[in-house]
Amino acid sequence: MTDLPVTARFALPLLVQAQAQKEITHNEALVLIDALLQASVEDGPLAAPPTAPEAGQCWIVGAPASGAWAGREAALAVWTAGGWRFAEPRPGMRVVRSRDGAWLRFADGAWVEPGMIAAPAGGSMVDSEARMAIEALMTALKAHGMLI
């Protein structure tokens, strides 16, 4: 299907005039939309595909990718009845990871995970601990794209 025109953002296949078997192109676009709309991944980034995926499950491909995922680093990989389908992420794209509920954001060519925020422990250095906690909070908000 590489010779067909695609959409600008997510390379969804477009129908063309007088195209035979339009249902194949249409169904391919629906599979990708299904994976990308309200995107949720099982886990990732992972370098190797899972051994027993179920239709509709999605993962973030890690580096160095191997097996059926080779050469697809950072892509979203969704398992379908027809095998693996891949979607290249766009800057600012977000997904929730089912394993731990973390929101990941695609920025600067990589998936960014939110940082952990340590609670201030108290004691004689309250001001410096509070500053460290605020700095960690700001870092986490930046990772989520809520602060620039």
**Amino acid identity of 118?**
A
0.75 surpassed by pTM: no
Percent of the chain with pLDDT strictly greater than 70: 84
pLDDT at 1: 46
Distance, CA of 77 to CA of 59 (rounded, Å): 5
Distance, CA of 79 to CA of 6 (rounded, Å): 21
Residue bearing tokens 């601990």: 129
What is the residue extent of each domain of the chain?
A: 22-112
- 60 near 41, Cβ under 8 Å? yes
